Amino acid sequence: MNAMTSRAYIPRFEIPKTSIIDARTPHFTGQKRLDMINRIKRLLKKQDAVLVAHYYTDKDLQQVADETGGYVSDSLDMARFGNEHPATTLVVAGVRFMGETAKILNPEKRVLMPTLEATCSLDMSCPAEVFNPYCDQHPDHTVVVYANTSAEVKARADWVVTSSIAVRVVSHLIDKNKKILWAPDKHLGRYIQKVTGADMTLWPGTCIVHEEFKASALRRLMQKHPEAGVLVHPESPEEVIDLADVVGSTTALIKAAHDLPNNEFIVATDRGIFYKMRQAAPGKIFIEAPTGGEGATCISCAHCPWMAMNGLHNLAHTLETGSNEIHVDEQIRIKALRSTQRMLDFVRSHA
Ligand code: 13P
Ligand code: SF4
Protein backbone atom coordinates (compact mmCIF):
# COMPACT_ATOMS: atom_id res chain seq x y z
CA MET A 1 0.00 0.00 0.00
CA ASN A 2 1.32 3.45 -0.87
CA ALA A 3 0.17 6.59 0.88
CA MET A 4 0.36 9.82 -1.08
CA THR A 5 3.08 11.82 0.71
CA SER A 6 2.04 14.89 2.64
CA ARG A 7 4.78 16.72 0.68
CA ALA A 8 2.66 16.11 -2.41
CA TYR A 9 -0.54 17.59 -1.04
CA ILE A 10 -1.76 18.80 2.35
CA PRO A 11 -5.52 19.37 2.54
CA ARG A 12 -6.37 22.66 4.26
CA PHE A 13 -9.82 24.05 5.01
CA GLU A 14 -11.84 25.85 7.66
CA ILE A 15 -13.91 23.78 10.10
CA PRO A 16 -16.95 25.62 11.44
CA LYS A 17 -17.50 24.98 15.15
CA THR A 18 -20.56 22.80 15.80
CA SER A 19 -21.45 24.95 18.80
CA ILE A 20 -21.59 28.06 16.59
CA ILE A 21 -23.66 26.28 13.92
CA ASP A 22 -26.04 24.96 16.61
CA ALA A 23 -26.43 28.47 18.01
CA ARG A 24 -27.25 29.78 14.51
CA THR A 25 -29.77 27.00 13.81
CA PRO A 26 -33.11 27.69 15.46
CA HIS A 27 -34.58 24.70 17.29
CA PHE A 28 -38.33 24.85 17.55
CA THR A 29 -40.29 23.35 20.42
CA GLY A 30 -43.96 22.82 21.33
CA GLN A 31 -46.61 24.31 19.07
CA LYS A 32 -44.08 26.26 16.96
CA ARG A 33 -42.30 23.03 16.05
CA LEU A 34 -45.59 21.31 15.13
CA ASP A 35 -46.67 24.32 13.02
CA MET A 36 -43.34 24.27 11.20
CA ILE A 37 -43.55 20.53 10.54
CA ASN A 38 -47.12 20.87 9.23
CA ARG A 39 -46.08 23.77 6.99
CA ILE A 40 -43.27 21.63 5.53
CA LYS A 41 -45.64 18.72 4.98
CA ARG A 42 -48.02 20.97 3.02
CA LEU A 43 -45.15 22.41 0.99
CA LEU A 44 -43.76 18.98 0.12
CA LYS A 45 -47.17 17.99 -1.27
CA LYS A 46 -47.66 21.26 -3.13
CA GLN A 47 -44.22 21.04 -4.75
CA ASP A 48 -44.50 17.31 -5.62
CA ALA A 49 -41.37 16.91 -3.53
CA VAL A 50 -39.94 14.10 -1.45
CA LEU A 51 -37.50 14.52 1.45
CA VAL A 52 -34.42 12.30 1.56
CA ALA A 53 -32.37 12.75 4.74
CA HIS A 54 -29.13 11.34 6.12
CA TYR A 55 -29.05 9.73 9.59
CA TYR A 56 -26.74 12.50 10.85
CA THR A 57 -29.31 15.28 10.29
CA ASP A 58 -31.51 16.68 13.03
CA LYS A 59 -34.14 14.24 14.27
CA ASP A 60 -36.96 16.64 13.32
CA LEU A 61 -35.89 16.33 9.68
CA GLN A 62 -35.68 12.56 9.95
CA GLN A 63 -39.17 12.53 11.45
CA VAL A 64 -40.60 14.66 8.63
CA ALA A 65 -38.98 12.38 6.03
CA ASP A 66 -40.49 9.31 7.73
CA GLU A 67 -43.95 10.84 8.08
CA THR A 68 -44.20 12.08 4.48
CA GLY A 69 -43.16 9.00 2.52
CA GLY A 70 -39.57 10.19 2.26
CA TYR A 71 -36.49 8.31 3.36
CA VAL A 72 -33.75 8.39 5.99
CA SER A 73 -30.66 6.38 5.21
CA ASP A 74 -26.96 6.08 4.37
CA SER A 75 -25.43 7.69 1.28
CA LEU A 76 -25.96 4.67 -0.96
CA ASP A 77 -29.64 4.20 -0.20
CA MET A 78 -30.29 7.94 -0.35
CA ALA A 79 -29.01 7.84 -3.94
CA ARG A 80 -31.02 4.73 -4.78
CA PHE A 81 -34.24 6.03 -3.23
CA GLY A 82 -34.03 9.39 -5.02
CA ASN A 83 -33.34 7.59 -8.27
CA GLU A 84 -36.39 5.35 -7.96
CA HIS A 85 -38.94 7.79 -6.48
CA PRO A 86 -41.42 9.40 -8.91
CA ALA A 87 -41.46 12.89 -7.28
CA THR A 88 -40.34 15.70 -9.60
CA THR A 89 -38.44 17.48 -6.80
CA LEU A 90 -35.94 15.78 -4.49
CA VAL A 91 -35.12 17.65 -1.30
CA VAL A 92 -31.86 16.33 0.08
CA ALA A 93 -31.09 17.03 3.75
CA GLY A 94 -27.45 16.25 4.27
CA VAL A 95 -24.28 17.60 2.73
CA ARG A 96 -23.50 18.96 -0.71
CA PHE A 97 -22.14 15.78 -2.30
CA MET A 98 -25.44 14.02 -1.51
CA GLY A 99 -27.40 16.68 -3.40
CA GLU A 100 -24.94 16.52 -6.29
CA THR A 101 -25.20 12.73 -6.45
CA ALA A 102 -28.99 13.07 -6.64
CA LYS A 103 -28.64 15.55 -9.53
CA ILE A 104 -26.05 13.39 -11.35
CA LEU A 105 -28.52 10.50 -11.29
CA ASN A 106 -31.67 12.54 -11.91
CA PRO A 107 -31.01 15.43 -14.30
CA GLU A 108 -34.70 15.77 -15.10
CA LYS A 109 -35.61 16.37 -11.45
CA ARG A 110 -35.22 19.53 -9.45
CA VAL A 111 -32.86 18.89 -6.53
CA LEU A 112 -33.08 21.27 -3.57
CA MET A 113 -31.13 21.37 -0.31
CA PRO A 114 -31.95 23.25 2.92
CA THR A 115 -28.50 24.86 2.60
CA LEU A 116 -25.74 24.86 0.00
CA GLU A 117 -23.14 25.71 2.65
CA ALA A 118 -23.13 22.17 4.06
CA THR A 119 -19.99 20.59 2.73
CA CYS A 120 -17.73 17.77 3.93
CA SER A 121 -14.07 17.69 4.94
CA LEU A 122 -13.46 14.72 2.62
CA ASP A 123 -14.92 16.53 -0.38
CA MET A 124 -12.87 19.64 0.45
CA SER A 125 -9.68 17.65 0.92
CA CYS A 126 -9.81 16.45 -2.66
CA PRO A 127 -10.15 19.36 -5.11
CA ALA A 128 -10.41 18.27 -8.77
CA GLU A 129 -7.58 20.59 -9.82
CA VAL A 130 -5.17 18.66 -7.57
CA PHE A 131 -6.77 15.25 -7.99
CA ASN A 132 -6.88 15.15 -11.80
CA PRO A 133 -3.12 15.65 -12.36
CA TYR A 134 -2.50 13.05 -9.64
CA CYS A 135 -4.64 10.56 -11.58
CA ASP A 136 -2.66 11.47 -14.72
CA GLN A 137 0.49 10.37 -12.89
CA HIS A 138 -1.06 6.92 -12.23
CA PRO A 139 -2.41 5.84 -15.61
CA ASP A 140 -2.15 2.14 -14.72
CA HIS A 141 -4.48 2.52 -11.69
CA THR A 142 -8.27 2.14 -11.51
CA VAL A 143 -9.60 5.29 -9.84
CA VAL A 144 -12.09 4.49 -7.09
CA VAL A 145 -13.55 7.42 -5.15
CA TYR A 146 -15.76 7.63 -2.11
CA ALA A 147 -19.17 9.20 -2.71
CA ASN A 148 -18.03 12.06 -0.41
CA THR A 149 -16.48 13.93 -3.36
CA SER A 150 -17.47 16.66 -5.81
CA ALA A 151 -19.12 15.94 -9.17
CA GLU A 152 -15.80 16.93 -10.84
CA VAL A 153 -13.88 14.27 -8.92
CA LYS A 154 -16.57 11.66 -9.65
CA ALA A 155 -16.26 12.64 -13.32
CA ARG A 156 -12.59 11.62 -13.24
CA ALA A 157 -13.23 8.33 -11.40
CA ASP A 158 -13.78 4.87 -12.84
CA TRP A 159 -15.90 3.90 -9.83
CA VAL A 160 -17.81 5.71 -7.09
CA VAL A 161 -18.44 3.72 -3.90
CA THR A 162 -20.01 4.32 -0.50
CA SER A 163 -18.91 2.75 2.77
CA SER A 164 -21.58 0.06 2.45
CA ILE A 165 -20.17 -1.46 -0.75
CA ALA A 166 -16.56 -0.28 -0.93
CA VAL A 167 -15.12 -3.64 0.21
CA ARG A 168 -17.25 -5.60 -2.28
CA VAL A 169 -16.32 -3.35 -5.21
CA VAL A 170 -12.60 -3.45 -4.40
CA SER A 171 -12.73 -7.27 -4.01
CA HIS A 172 -14.33 -7.39 -7.45
CA LEU A 173 -11.50 -5.25 -8.87
CA ILE A 174 -8.84 -7.45 -7.26
CA ASP A 175 -10.32 -10.41 -9.17
CA LYS A 176 -9.52 -8.41 -12.30
CA ASN A 177 -5.92 -7.74 -11.09
CA LYS A 178 -6.48 -3.99 -10.83
CA LYS A 179 -4.25 -1.59 -8.87
CA ILE A 180 -6.36 1.04 -7.16
CA LEU A 181 -5.99 4.76 -6.67
CA TRP A 182 -8.30 5.49 -3.75
CA ALA A 183 -9.57 8.90 -2.63
CA PRO A 184 -10.20 10.76 -0.45
CA ASP A 185 -10.59 9.01 2.96
CA LYS A 186 -7.28 7.48 4.05
CA HIS A 187 -8.80 5.64 7.03
CA LEU A 188 -11.53 4.00 4.97
CA GLY A 189 -8.93 3.25 2.28
CA ARG A 190 -6.61 1.60 4.81
CA TYR A 191 -9.53 -0.44 6.20
CA ILE A 192 -10.52 -1.65 2.71
CA GLN A 193 -6.89 -2.49 1.97
CA LYS A 194 -6.60 -4.50 5.18
CA VAL A 195 -9.80 -6.48 4.55
CA THR A 196 -9.20 -7.16 0.87
CA GLY A 197 -5.39 -7.12 0.51
CA ALA A 198 -5.75 -4.81 -2.52
CA ASP A 199 -2.85 -2.83 -3.96
CA MET A 200 -4.04 0.70 -3.11
CA THR A 201 -2.59 4.20 -3.29
CA LEU A 202 -4.35 6.39 -0.72
CA TRP A 203 -5.26 10.06 -0.88
CA PRO A 204 -4.61 11.78 2.49
CA GLY A 205 -8.15 13.00 3.32
CA THR A 206 -10.04 12.45 6.58
CA CYS A 207 -13.50 13.02 8.01
CA ILE A 208 -13.08 15.57 10.78
CA VAL A 209 -15.82 13.88 12.83
CA HIS A 210 -14.53 10.29 12.81
CA GLU A 211 -10.88 11.36 12.93
CA GLU A 212 -11.47 12.54 16.52
CA PHE A 213 -12.39 9.17 18.01
CA LYS A 214 -9.59 8.08 20.34
CA ALA A 215 -8.54 4.45 20.84
CA SER A 216 -6.97 4.87 24.30
CA ALA A 217 -10.08 6.55 25.73
CA LEU A 218 -12.27 3.99 23.98
CA ARG A 219 -10.31 1.16 25.60
CA ARG A 220 -10.95 2.68 29.04
CA LEU A 221 -14.66 3.10 28.27
CA MET A 222 -14.82 -0.54 27.14
CA GLN A 223 -13.33 -1.60 30.49
CA LYS A 224 -16.11 0.29 32.27
CA HIS A 225 -18.73 -1.34 30.00
CA PRO A 226 -17.39 -4.85 29.40
CA GLU A 227 -20.73 -6.11 28.07
CA ALA A 228 -21.11 -3.33 25.47
CA GLY A 229 -20.82 -4.07 21.75
CA VAL A 230 -18.53 -1.64 19.91
CA LEU A 231 -19.86 -0.26 16.62
CA VAL A 232 -17.45 1.75 14.44
CA HIS A 233 -17.81 3.58 11.13
CA PRO A 234 -14.81 2.86 8.86
CA GLU A 235 -13.98 6.57 8.47
CA SER A 236 -12.46 6.22 11.98
CA PRO A 237 -8.72 5.80 12.63
CA GLU A 238 -7.25 2.30 12.31
CA GLU A 239 -6.66 1.83 16.08
CA VAL A 240 -10.34 2.59 16.74
CA ILE A 241 -11.51 0.23 13.97
CA ASP A 242 -9.31 -2.48 15.49
CA LEU A 243 -11.40 -2.34 18.69
CA ALA A 244 -14.76 -2.78 16.92
CA ASP A 245 -17.16 -5.70 17.07
CA VAL A 246 -18.82 -4.40 13.91
CA VAL A 247 -17.36 -2.01 11.30
CA GLY A 248 -19.80 -0.72 8.71
CA SER A 249 -21.82 1.99 7.06
CA THR A 250 -24.40 3.87 9.09
CA THR A 251 -27.14 1.47 7.96
CA ALA A 252 -24.96 -1.54 8.86
CA LEU A 253 -24.33 -0.11 12.35
CA ILE A 254 -28.05 0.42 12.97
CA LYS A 255 -28.73 -3.15 11.82
CA ALA A 256 -26.01 -4.44 14.16
CA ALA A 257 -27.57 -2.57 17.09
CA HIS A 258 -30.80 -4.42 16.36
CA ASP A 259 -29.33 -7.84 15.52
CA LEU A 260 -26.63 -8.29 18.18
CA PRO A 261 -27.73 -9.67 21.56
CA ASN A 262 -25.92 -6.91 23.55
CA ASN A 263 -28.06 -4.49 25.56
CA GLU A 264 -25.42 -1.77 25.47
CA PHE A 265 -23.37 -0.32 22.62
CA ILE A 266 -20.48 2.11 22.32
CA VAL A 267 -20.89 3.88 18.99
CA ALA A 268 -18.11 5.59 17.03
CA THR A 269 -19.95 7.71 14.50
CA ASP A 270 -21.95 10.95 14.40
CA ARG A 271 -24.43 11.01 17.28
CA GLY A 272 -27.28 11.90 14.90
CA ILE A 273 -27.49 8.16 14.28
CA PHE A 274 -28.92 7.55 17.78
CA TYR A 275 -32.39 8.65 16.66
CA LYS A 276 -32.74 5.70 14.27
CA MET A 277 -30.69 3.33 16.45
CA ARG A 278 -33.11 3.83 19.32
CA GLN A 279 -36.04 3.13 17.00
CA ALA A 280 -34.35 0.00 15.63
CA ALA A 281 -33.36 -1.30 19.07
CA PRO A 282 -35.75 0.16 21.67
CA GLY A 283 -34.64 -0.28 25.28
CA LYS A 284 -30.98 -0.75 24.42
CA ILE A 285 -28.39 1.71 25.72
CA PHE A 286 -26.16 3.70 23.34
CA ILE A 287 -23.00 5.44 24.49
CA GLU A 288 -20.96 7.89 22.40
CA ALA A 289 -17.39 6.78 21.75
CA PRO A 290 -14.91 9.28 23.26
CA THR A 291 -13.57 12.00 20.98
CA GLY A 292 -11.40 14.41 22.95
CA GLY A 293 -9.07 12.13 24.84
CA GLU A 294 -7.67 12.88 28.31
CA GLY A 295 -7.63 16.64 28.92
CA ALA A 296 -8.15 17.43 25.23
CA THR A 297 -11.03 19.23 23.60
CA CYS A 298 -12.91 18.10 20.53
CA ILE A 299 -13.79 20.22 17.49
CA SER A 300 -16.70 18.32 16.03
CA CYS A 301 -17.47 16.34 19.22
CA ALA A 302 -19.10 13.48 17.30
CA HIS A 303 -21.44 15.74 15.37
CA CYS A 304 -20.77 16.92 11.84
CA PRO A 305 -20.91 20.75 11.73
CA TRP A 306 -22.09 20.68 8.12
CA MET A 307 -24.90 18.18 8.74
CA ALA A 308 -25.94 20.43 11.65
CA MET A 309 -26.60 23.29 9.19
CA ASN A 310 -29.80 21.54 8.06
CA GLY A 311 -32.91 22.48 10.03
CA LEU A 312 -36.68 22.87 9.80
CA HIS A 313 -36.24 26.62 9.20
CA ASN A 314 -34.12 26.33 6.04
CA LEU A 315 -36.01 23.27 4.79
CA ALA A 316 -39.24 25.32 4.86
CA HIS A 317 -37.50 28.29 3.23
CA THR A 318 -36.10 26.16 0.40
CA LEU A 319 -39.49 24.64 -0.31
CA GLU A 320 -41.19 28.03 -0.25
CA THR A 321 -38.70 29.85 -2.47
CA GLY A 322 -37.10 27.13 -4.60
CA SER A 323 -33.74 28.46 -3.45
CA ASN A 324 -30.66 26.28 -2.97
CA GLU A 325 -31.17 24.30 -6.14
CA ILE A 326 -28.30 22.01 -7.11
CA HIS A 327 -26.88 22.47 -10.60
CA VAL A 328 -24.15 20.32 -12.13
CA ASP A 329 -22.43 21.24 -15.39
CA GLU A 330 -23.82 18.85 -18.05
CA GLN A 331 -20.42 17.71 -19.37
CA ILE A 332 -19.28 16.92 -15.83
CA ARG A 333 -22.59 15.27 -14.99
CA ILE A 334 -22.43 12.88 -17.94
CA LYS A 335 -18.92 11.77 -16.93
CA ALA A 336 -19.82 11.53 -13.23
CA LEU A 337 -22.90 9.49 -14.12
CA ARG A 338 -20.72 6.71 -15.57
CA SER A 339 -18.85 6.05 -12.31
CA THR A 340 -21.91 6.64 -10.11
CA GLN A 341 -24.27 4.49 -12.19
CA ARG A 342 -21.62 1.75 -12.21
CA MET A 343 -21.96 1.60 -8.41
CA LEU A 344 -25.76 1.30 -8.55
CA ASP A 345 -25.59 -1.34 -11.28
CA PHE A 346 -23.02 -3.27 -9.22
CA VAL A 347 -25.32 -3.21 -6.19
CA ARG A 348 -28.24 -4.42 -8.29
CA SER A 349 -26.32 -7.29 -9.87
CA HIS A 350 -24.65 -8.36 -6.59
CA ALA A 351 -27.74 -8.10 -4.35
P1 13P B 1 -22.67 6.38 5.18
O2 13P B 1 -22.71 6.13 3.72
O3 13P B 1 -22.21 5.21 5.98
O4 13P B 1 -23.97 6.92 5.66
O5 13P B 1 -21.56 7.48 5.49
C6 13P B 1 -21.55 8.63 4.74
C7 13P B 1 -21.07 9.77 5.47
O8 13P B 1 -19.94 9.95 5.70
C9 13P B 1 -22.02 10.72 5.85
O10 13P B 1 -21.37 11.78 6.29
FE1 SF4 C 1 -18.11 14.56 5.70
FE2 SF4 C 1 -17.52 13.47 8.03
FE3 SF4 C 1 -19.46 15.26 7.88
FE4 SF4 C 1 -19.77 12.82 6.82
S5 SF4 C 1 -19.54 13.28 8.97
S6 SF4 C 1 -20.32 14.78 5.89
S7 SF4 C 1 -17.72 12.38 6.10
S8 SF4 C 1 -17.31 15.63 7.47
Ligand 2 center–CA 187 separation, angstroms:
13
Please report the atom of ligand 1 found closest to the CA of residue 307: 10
Region 302-312 average pLDDT: 96
Residue 6 pLDDT exceeds 80: no
pLDDT at 351: 76
Q: Is the CB of 57 under 6 A from ligand 2?
A: no
**Nearest CA owner, ligand 1 atom 6:** 75
Q: Is the CB of 163 under 6 A from ligand 2?
A: no
Query: Class of the 210-288 domain?
Result: alpha beta
Percent of the chain topping pLDDT 70 = 97
Ligand 2 center–CA 38 separation, angstroms:
29
Angle of the 96-105 helix axis to the 330-349 helix axis, nearest 10:
90
Ligand closest to CA 184? 2
Q: Where are the beta strands (DSSP E) in the chain?
A: 2-3, 49-54, 71-73, 89-93, 110-112, 141-146, 159-161, 179-183, 200-202, 229-232, 246-247, 264-268, 285-288
pLDDT at 293: 60
> Which range has the worst mean pLDDT, 9-13, 96-100, 116-120, 279-283?
9-13
Per-residue pLDDT band at 3 (split at 50, 70, 90): low
Residue 274 pLDDT exceeds 70: yes
**Fold designation for 2-11+122-207+333-349:** Rossmann fold (3.40.50)
Residues of the chain with CATH 3.40.50.10800: 2-11+122-207+333-349, 18-119+306-328, 210-288
pLDDT higher at 298 or 274: 274
Ligand closest to CA 300? 2
Region 276-292 average pLDDT: 96
pLDDT at 25: 87
**Nearest CA owner, ligand 2 atom 7:** 207
Please report the atom of ligand 1 found closest to the CA of residue 248: 3
Q: Is 278 exposed, middle or buried (0-12, 13-18, 19+ CB in 10 A)?
A: middle
DSSP state of 212: G
pLDDT at 2: 56
pLDDT at 21: 85
Q: Are the CB atoms for 198 and 170 separated by under 8 Å?
A: yes
pLDDT in tens, 313-332: 999 999 999 999 999 999 99
Ligand 1 center–CA 118 separation, angstroms:
14
Mutate to test the pocket of ligand 2, among 209, 211, 267, 291 (most ligand atoms within 8 A of CB): 209
pLDDT in tens, 260-270: 999 999 999 99
pLDDT higher at 73 or 5: 73
Ligand 1 center–CA 35 separation, angstroms:
30
Q: Tell me which of 3.40.50.2000, 3.40.50.10800, 3.40.30.10, 1.10.260.40 is the CATH number of domain 18-119+306-328.
A: 3.40.50.10800
**Nearest CA owner, ligand 2 atom 5:** 304
Question: Taking the model in full, what pTM does it have?
Answer: 0.95
Return the closest-CA partner of residue 99 out of 318, 331, 335: 318
**Nearest CA owner, ligand 1 atom 8:** 148
pLDDT in tens, 77-109: 999 999 999 999 999 999 999 999 999 999 999
Averaged confidence pLDDT in the chain: 95
